[in-house]
């Protein structure tokens, strides 16, 4: 659609989609002038806008079409360009084929003409009259004969002209001897053949004499030496004989048989070592076409490709050609077998060196040299074999690759994970860096040569340009005839030599250099002295140079001062450009290296930017980078050699600098790996820090680079093996592991997320993410809002609150707080959590697997926190403690499978539980329970293998120091067992006094029940001074209380009385309580009207003034005065002023005396209280009661609350009777200040 059509269509659309205003007025056509003008103006503006939009859209469409046409044109142009290039290439190849065809045909024609002329020489030789006309002077003839010994291709025409003018009939033998002893080059054979043809055409005796003379060269036969001395002579003479045979100088029958004999002797004597390979190759290349009918495969293919008929030489009989061809093919077969043998030997050596690298981390120098020799020999043999195969037009033998190399390549493929259509090199380049920004920082450098004129860095770049003329001069010194002779060989071997060089480089980088640690002290000091001398020489040279101007000097100093502020890519690139354009002098370059080397050891952030600066300057200033690398590496080796434990920041700076230079390819990977090898070899102290920082900087780069991957992997594995064998400190071990996994991250399998209902996910979020010390109340409120009527939600909550090992260890107390808060509203949930926790503790003792140890620790800690929050009683805690000591042990004393003597984990569980809640067992009945348990706990410890591990010993001592600081441990197992036996005997004597109340149960049954319950139950029954008995009566039924048992044989229950008699309320007790209450009431009423007098001396300092004023009376520096604070009131504000009162005044003396008296009174009160508690404990232990009135008060019933004597709250089931309520009330009145339970925990209910 054209632009006009597009506008017309748009206009129609506009009239349909947006009617003018006058149509909205009813369409009667009666409008005012203002309405007409407005509508006309609006229509005009809308038309303009839409026309502009249409024009814009038209322009966009035209641009898109133009871009499409441009792209299509570019594609067509690219296609045409490719086709044109293909046509040009095809045309060039056709021209080459035509030229080759012309050269081959011309060569055959020239040899045919020369052969025809030589065969007819017998009839065409000149007579004596012709020879008399020629010059027969002795001087010229002798000179000519001497020239024959050194003739070259450049002398062909001159020698031919001179031969035509001389009569050499008397000098034929001398000429034969000269030609036979001449040291020809391969390029000189053509000249020698022509001169021999001239001699043959003029002198009949020449050919026979020359054949005998040349045959003498091969009298030595075939040598077994690796490099025979006559190798070049054999090559040239054999070719000369072959050329003269083809040209017809020698008789066919005699010459061909001699040539076949010589060649057969060389081939059959050299089928193992192939020392004469160059002789056979030269013969096949230059004479194979005529003597063996050979044509190289490349030439044959290019001729056949363009339809040219391959020319065939008919100068030699086909039978003779077949004989020569068979000899050469037999030699090639032996050569192919030799190549396969060398290939296997080389693979064996490489495999051995690779195994040594993997096992020892280094390869011996002898093995490296052997591998280099084998590699060079194999490459040379491979190149020669490929050349001979091309000449014979046969295929190369199959050389299988080493399986270990294929495995290594598979490891690289797995490491770099190349994508589809991506090569291994590209994948390795992409895997070197963490992200794209990092790759850009280290790889995308500015090209200073493209920005800065070459004259500015010509002087600094001259160091690399100087060797080029020398190389050219060396090449020019090579004789031209040698270059011509080996031109074809160099073409064929060029590709093989290049590949060999690349392989040698890869091998050098992949094999660890067998270099020792840093040099000896003398060598290092010598190196330092040489460095100092070099610095002195440099300073002398700099002084000798013209002194720079003050402005230039200040400019460089200013540039150095600004260098530490270049902390981004743009700044450092700008600094590099400025240095190269304005400050590039030899002295400044040396100062720059020194400044970069002396960077502040705390400014590690500058090292990447300084390395980028050096990498940017390196193409233009090639002396900066190597000098800096040499200095840094030398400093690193010196710091490692010193072995001191100082200046760790400097050591870290040096290795990080090396790593950054490595990532910029300024420092070679082999040097960096060698530094890493030195550090790994001496893996201790600061070397560990240096290793970790070096791997953190460039470890990933080295590990993921294909040319350094193998060596880096071996060093990392060696480092990890040393870490395990050396038993390093935990900090060092963690550092090494972090460095290793930073280079070689472990494979992380993607976790399959379990699908859960949203309500379950919300519960997990509350417990695992939101729960902490400050959010416990909010979490409890959210739990209360859950749909508890849903059984699945209730069960999942119980499961989540029970599996406390999935919560952070520090949040276990918060989970116990949540359970305590929920118990007030969801009591059944709290009961299920506690029951499930106890069941899990029991199951884990039955399983006893090491992978559940953390789970067991968390569960035991959770139980202690539940006791702290009064969710379980102390009897439950002690039952778990005794279960940990006794569960799974055999009655005959044999070792237990569940708790062997070598296992100390239950000791850790006991310590964790007591460390969590044991500090509440410090008074009353629970204190004596814990004392008895500690006796059995020591017996349990003596039952383990001795001595205890130091960790377990410290754990037990720390626990006892907290719980019982004055407790003395048993020194032998005998003492521990005697103490336990004494406790059991004492409790057994008390159990004998237990009498049955109901039933026919015998005392022996009661004793068995008590013995089964343990000695602690008897301790509970013997505590008549404590209020445990009243709490048990108030509880109604307590499954853990002593003195009750059920007889499964009878329906009636059998009850046993405890050691103390049950108190029966009486009228005297009620009267006593009434009198006691009246006395307390009267006392309170009488003292209610008393006013508290405050001493005027002890007026405290107000709170808002304590920060600026001392509340005590410190002496001043002189010690003669005491500072007092005087409180004044000025208006509505209080002011405090410091007053210095003399120390010998009456005021200070009275205050001191009063303070001393108060301290003495407190000390006396403390002594009396402690003495009373000790006497009370002794009376309780002996079963005496010396305070009957106090005992009666304690035995009064508790009025309210369900507080247990051990501090734990009980979940009571069943109604509370009136007697129990009275006991609770009396208990509460007496135990307001004597509770032994946990006072720190919150009381939820």
CB under 8 Å to 591, separation ≥6 — which residues? 556, 560
- Separation between Cα atoms, residue 562 and residue 217, nearest integer Å: 78
Examine the pLDDT at 776 and tell me if it is beyond 90.
yes
pLDDT of 695: 94
Positions of E strands within 981-1112: 1044-1045, 1054-1055
Mean pLDDT of 114-124: 84
pLDDT score, position 882: 93
- Angle at Cα 706 formed by Cα 610 and Cα 672, nearest 5°? 40
Greatest C-alpha distance within the chain: 182
The CA distance from 1202 to 1210, in Å, is 7
Q: Higher-confidence residue: 500 or 1179?
A: 1179
Rounded-to-integer distance, Cα 614 and Cα 599, Å: 14
pLDDT in tens, 902-945: 899 999 999 999 999 999 999 889 999 999 999 999 999 998 88
pLDDT at 462: 47
Contact 855, 805 (CB under 8 A): yes
Share of the chain above pLDDT 90, in %: 22
Q: Residue 439: pLDDT above 50?
A: yes
Asked if residue 326 has pLDDT above 50, the reply is: yes
| Confidence check: pLDDT of 1171 > 70 | yes
Q: Where is mean pLDDT largest: 311-320, 443-452, 704-713, 737-746? A: 737-746
| The pLDDT value given to residue 888 | 86
Q: Do 504 and 511 meet the contact criterion of CB atoms below 8 Å apart?
A: no
Contact call for residues 1204 and 1237 (beta carbons, < 8 A) = yes
What secondary structure letter does DSSP report for 135?
B
Cα separation, 249 vs 203, in Å, equals 11
| pLDDT attached to residue 456 | 65
pLDDT band at 126 (very low <50, low <70, confident <90, very high): confident
Strand partners, 1176: none
Is residue 298 pLDDT above 90, yes or no?
Answer: no
Distance of alpha carbon 348 from alpha carbon 594, whole angstroms: 48
CB atoms within 10 A of CB 500: 18
Q: What is the Cα 1046 distance to its own chain's centre? A: 66
So what's the pLDDT on residue 1090? 65
1133-1142 and 1121-1130 strand pairing: antiparallel
Q: What is the pLDDT of residues 968-1025, one digit of tens each?
A: 888 888 999 999 898 888 888 777 765 443 333 333 333 433 433 444 343 333 433 3
Please name which of 1107, 998, 1089, 1098 lies closest in space to residue 1043, comparing C-alpha atoms: 998
Helices marked H in 664-708: 669-681, 686-703
If you average pLDDT over residues 288-314, what whole number do you get?
A: 82
pLDDT of 1193 over the 80 cut: no
In this predicted structure, what is the pLDDT of residue 1?
42
Query: What does the pLDDT average to over 851-869?
Result: 94
pLDDT at 1186: 39
- Checking if the pLDDT of 820 tops 90, the result is yes
- Only one residue has tokens 């009591």, namely 827
Q: How far apart are CA 1124 and CA 1148, in angstroms?
A: 10
Percent of the chain with pLDDT over 70: 68
Dist CA 1208 CA 1241 (whole Å): 10
Bridge partners for 1122 per DSSP: 1115, 1141
Does the CA dihedral 70-71-72-75 come out positive or negative? positive
Output the pLDDT for position 921. Answer: 93
How far apart CA 177 and CA 209 sit, in angstroms, is 9
Alpha-carbon distance of 824 to 837, in angstroms, equals: 19
How far is it, in rounded angstroms, from Cα 192 to Cα 209? 16
Which of 520-524, 856-860, 959-963, 1216-1220 has the lowest average pLDDT? 1216-1220
Which residue from 1042, 532, 431 is spatially nearest to 745, judged by alpha carbons?
Answer: 431
Note whether 1222 and 1055 are within 8 A (CB): no
3-state secondary structure of 1037: coil
What does the block give as tokens for 1046? 């059920």
The DSSP bridge partners found for residue 1054 are 1045
Place 1052 in a pLDDT band, splitting at 50, 70 and 90.
very low
93-107, 560-574, 959-973, range with the lowest pLDDT: 93-107
Which residues, including other chains, have CB under 8 Å from residue 326's CB and lie 6 or more apart?
A: none
The pTM (predicted TM-score) of the whole model is 0.43
Return the C-alpha torsion angle 204, 205, 210, 215, nearest 10: 120
Residues near 653 by beta carbon (within 8 Å), at least 6 away in sequence: 599, 601, 604, 607
Whether the predicted pLDDT of 655 surpasses 90 = yes
Phi-psi region of 883 (alpha: psi -120 to 50; beta: other; left: phi over 0): alpha
Output the pLDDT for position 425: 54
pLDDT score at 318:
82
| Residue 641 · residue 523 · CB < 8 Å | no
Q: What does the block give as tokens for 339?
A: 């190549």
Average pLDDT over residues 863-888: 93
**Token pair for 310:** 């391959």
Count of residues in the chain: 1245
| Contact (Cβ atoms closer than 8 angstroms) between residue 241 and residue 217 | no
Give pLDDT tens digits for 702-719: 988 877 887 888 889 999
By mean pLDDT, which of 150-159, 1013-1022, 1224-1233 is the weakest? 1224-1233
Dist. CA 246–CA 259, nearest whole Å: 11
Residues 6+ positions from 111 with CB-CB distance below 8 Å:
246, 247, 290, 313, 315
Confidence label for 1071 from pLDDT (cuts 50, 70 and 90): confident
Q: Tokens 């049955």, residue?
A: 996
Q: What is the pLDDT of residue 694?
A: 94
Q: Are 404 and 354 in contact (CB under 8 A)?
A: yes
Instruction: State the pLDDT at residue 272.
Output: 83
Q: Which residue has the higher pLDDT, 528 or 602?
A: 602
Q: Which of 13, 14, 5, 9 is nearest to 45 (CA)?
A: 14
Helices (H) and strands (E) in the chain, counts: 52, 5
pLDDT at position 860: 95
Residue 796: pLDDT band with limits 50, 70, 90: very high
Q: What is the reported pLDDT for 842? A: 93
- Tell me, what's the pLDDT at 544? 37
Q: Which residue has the tokens 């001595």?
A: 947
- Per-residue pLDDT band for 1223 (boundaries 50, 70, 90) equals very low
CA distance 872 to 831: 10
Return the ∠ at Cα 605 (arms to 600 and 609), rounded to 5°.
100
Backbone angles phi, psi at 1199, to 5 degrees: -90, -50
The angle formed by the CA atoms of residues 914, 920 and 923, to the nearest 5 degrees, is 120
Question: Does the structure show a pLDDT above 70 at 560?
Answer: yes
Q: What does the mean pLDDT of the chain come to?
A: 74
Torsional sign, CA 1191, 1195, 1199, 1204:
positive
For 371, residues 6+ apart whose C-beta sits below 8 A from its C-beta are: 346, 349, 350, 353, 507, 511
- In 3D space, the residue among 280, 285, 292, 364 whose CA is nearest the CA of residue 321 turns out to be 292
pLDDT in tens, 606-622: 999 999 999 999 888 88
Which pLDDT tens digit goes with each residue over 1131-1152? 777 777 788 888 888 888 888 8
1099-1110: per-residue pLDDT in tens? 666 666 655 554
548-551-553-556 Cα dihedral, nearest 10 degrees? -130
pLDDT one-digit tens code per residue, 397-413? 888 876 666 565 555 54
CB 737 within 8 A of CB 688: no
What pLDDT, in 10s, does the model give residues 723-753?
999 888 899 999 999 999 999 888 777 777 8
The residues, ordered by sequence, that sit 6+ positions from 580 with a Cβ below 8 Å of its Cβ are 448, 452, 456, 457, 617, 620, 621
DSSP type of residue 873: -
Give, as one character, the DSSP assignment of residue 547: P
58 pLDDT higher than 80: no
């Amino acid at each position: 659609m054209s632009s006009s059509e597009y506008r017309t269509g748009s206009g129609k659309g506009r009239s349909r989609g947006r009617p003018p205003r006058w149509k909205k007025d009813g369409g009667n056509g009666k409008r005012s002038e203002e309405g007409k003008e407005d509508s006309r103006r609006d229509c005009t503006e809308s038309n303009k806008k839409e026309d502009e939009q249409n024009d814009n859209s038209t322009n966009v469409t035209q641009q898109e079409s133009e871009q499409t046409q441009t792209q299509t044109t570019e594609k067509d142009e690219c296609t045409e360009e490719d086709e044109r290039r293909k046509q040009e290439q095809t045309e060039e190849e056709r021209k080459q084929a035509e030229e080759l065809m012309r050269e081959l045909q011309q060569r055959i024609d020239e040899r045919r003409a020369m052969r025809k002329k030589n065969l007819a020489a017998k009839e065409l030789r000149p007579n004596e009259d012709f020879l008399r006309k020629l010059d027969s002077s002795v001087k010229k003839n002798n000179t000519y004969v001497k020239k024959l010994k050194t003739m070259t291709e450049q002398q062909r025409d001159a020698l031919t002209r001179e031969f035509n003018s001389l009569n050499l009939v008397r000098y034929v033998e001398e000429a034969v001897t000269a030609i036979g002893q001449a040291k020809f080059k391969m390029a000189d054979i053509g000249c020698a053949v022509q001169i021999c043809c001239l001699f043959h055409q003029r002198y009949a005796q020449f050919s026979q004499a020359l054949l005998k003379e040349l045959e003498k060269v091969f009298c030595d036969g075939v040598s077994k030496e690796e490099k025979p001395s006559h190798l070049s002579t054999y090559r040239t003479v054999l070719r000369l004989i072959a050329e003269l045979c083809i040209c017809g100088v020698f008789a066919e029958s005699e010459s061909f048989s001699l040539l076949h004999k010589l060649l057969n002797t060389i081939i059959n004597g050299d089928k193992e070592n192939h020392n004469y390979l160059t002789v056979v190759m030269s013969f096949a290349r230059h004479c194979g076409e005529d003597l063996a009918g050979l044509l190289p495969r490349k030439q044959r293919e290019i001729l056949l490709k363009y339809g040219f008929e391959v020319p065939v030489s008919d100068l030699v009989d086909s039978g003779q050609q077949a004989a020569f061809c068979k000899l050469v093919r037999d030699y090639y077969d032996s050569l192919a077998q030799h190549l396969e043998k060398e290939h296997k030997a080389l693979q064996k050596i490489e495999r051995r060196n690779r195994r040594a690298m993997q096992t020892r981390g280094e390869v011996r120098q002898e093995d490296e040299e052997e591998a280099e020799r084998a590699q060079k020999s194999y490459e040379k043999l491979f190149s020669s074999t490929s050349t001979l195969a091309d000449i014979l037009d046969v295929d190369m033998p199959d050389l299988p690759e080493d399986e270990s190399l294929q495995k290594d390549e598979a490891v690289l493929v797995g490491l770099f994970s190349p994508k589809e259509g991506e090569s291994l090199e590209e994948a390795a380049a992409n895997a070197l860096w963490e992200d794209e920004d990092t790759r850009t920082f280290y790889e995308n450098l500015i090209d200073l040569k493209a920005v800065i004129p070459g004259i500015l860095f010509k002087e600094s770049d001259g160091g690399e340009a100087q060797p080029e003329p020398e190389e050219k001069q060396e090449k020019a010194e090579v004789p031209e005839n040698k270059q011509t002779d080996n031109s074809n060989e160099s073409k064929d071997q060029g590709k093989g030599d290049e590949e060999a060089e690349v392989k040698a480089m890869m091998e050098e980088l992949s094999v660890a250099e067998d270099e020792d640690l840093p040099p000896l002290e003398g060598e290092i000091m010598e190196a330092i002295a040489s460095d100092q001398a070099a610095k002195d020489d440099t300073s002398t040279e700099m002084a000798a140079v013209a002194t720079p101007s003050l402005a230039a000097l200040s400019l460089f100093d200013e540039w150095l001062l600004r260098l530490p502020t270049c902390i981004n890519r743009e700044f450092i690139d700008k600094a590099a450009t400025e240095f190269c354009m304005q400050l590039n002098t030899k002295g400044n370059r040396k100062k720059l290296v020194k400044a970069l080397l002396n960077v502040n050891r705390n400014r590690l952030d500058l090292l990447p930017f300084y390395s980028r600066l050096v990498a940017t300057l390196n193409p233009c200033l090639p002396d900066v980078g190597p000098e800096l690398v040499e200095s840094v590496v030398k400093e690193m080796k010196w710091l490692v050699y010193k072995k001191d434990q100082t200046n760790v920041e400097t050591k870290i700076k040096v290795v990080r600098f090396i790593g950054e230079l490595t990532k910029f390819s300024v420092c070679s990977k082999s040097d960096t790996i060698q530094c890493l090898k030195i550090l790994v070899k001496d893996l201790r102290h600061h070397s560990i820090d240096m290793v970790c920082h070096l791997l953190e900087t460039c470890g990933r780069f080295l590990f993921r680079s294909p040319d350094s991957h193998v060596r880096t992997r071996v060093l990392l594995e060696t480092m990890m093996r040393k870490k395990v064998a050396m038993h390093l400190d935990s900090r060092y071990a963690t550092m090494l592991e972090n460095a290793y996994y930073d280079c070689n991250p472990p494979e992380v399998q993607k976790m399959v997320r379990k699908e859960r209902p949203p309500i379950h996910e919300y519960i997990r979020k509350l417990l695992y993410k939101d729960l902490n010390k400050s959010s416990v109340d909010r979490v409890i409120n959210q739990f209360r809002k859950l749909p508890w009527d849903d059984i699945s939600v209730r069960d999942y909550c119980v499961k989540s609150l029970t599996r406390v090992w999935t919560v952070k260890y520090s949040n276990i107390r918060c989970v116990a707080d949540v359970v305590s808060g929920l118990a007030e509203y969801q009591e059944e949930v709290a009961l299920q959590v506690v029951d499930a926790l106890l069941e899990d503790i029991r199951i884990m003792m039955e399983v006893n697997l090491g992978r559940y140890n953390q789970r067991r620790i968390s569960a035991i800690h959770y139980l202690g926190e539940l006791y702290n929050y009064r969710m379980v009683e102390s009897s439950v805690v002690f039952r778990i403690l005794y279960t940990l000591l006794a569960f799974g042990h055999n009655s005959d004393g044999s070792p237990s499978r569940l708790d062997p003597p070598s296992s100390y984990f239950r000791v850790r569980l006991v310590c964790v539980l007591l460390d969590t809640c044991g500090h509440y067992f410090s008074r009353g009945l629970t204190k004596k329970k814990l004392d008895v348990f500690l006796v059995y706990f020591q017996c349990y410890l003596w039952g383990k293998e001795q001595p205890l591990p130091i960790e377990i010993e410290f754990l037990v001592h720390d626990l006892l120091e907290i719980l019982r600081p004055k407790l003395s441990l048993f020194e032998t197992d005998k003492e521990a067992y005697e103490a336990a036996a004494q406790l059991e005997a004492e409790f057994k004597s008390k159990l004998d006094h237990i009498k049955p109340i109901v039933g026919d149960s015998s005392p022996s049954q009661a004793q068995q029940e008590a013995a089964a319950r343990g000695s602690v139950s008897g301790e509970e029954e013997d505590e008549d001074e404590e209020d445990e008995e009243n709490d048990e009566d108030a509880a109604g039924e307590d499954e853990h209380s002593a003195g009750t048992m059920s007889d499964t044989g009878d329906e009636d229950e059998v009850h046993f009385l405890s050691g103390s008699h049950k108190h029966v309320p009486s009228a005297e007790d009620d009267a006593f309580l009434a009198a006691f209450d009246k006395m307390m009431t009267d006392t309170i009423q009488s003292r209610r009207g008393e006013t508290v007098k405050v001493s005027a001396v002890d007026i405290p300092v107000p709170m808002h003034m304590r920060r600026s004023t001392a509340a005590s009376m410190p002496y001043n520096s002189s010690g003669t005065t005491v500072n007092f604070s005087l409180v004044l009131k000025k208006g509505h504000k209080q002011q405090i002023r410091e007053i210095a009162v003399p120390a010998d005044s009456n005021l200070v003396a009275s205050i001191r005396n009063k303070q001393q008296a108060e301290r003495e009174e407190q000390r006396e009160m403390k002594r009396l209280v402690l003495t009373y508690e000790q006497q009370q404990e002794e009376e309780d232990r002996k079963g005496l009661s010396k305070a009957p009135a106090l005992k009666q008060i304690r035995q009064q019933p508790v009025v309210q609350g369900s507080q247990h004597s051990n501090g734990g709250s009980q979940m009571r089931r069943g109604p509370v009777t009136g007697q129990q309520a009275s006991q609770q009330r009396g208990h509460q009145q007496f135990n307001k200040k004597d509770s032994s339970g946990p006072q720190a925990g919150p009381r939820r209910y």
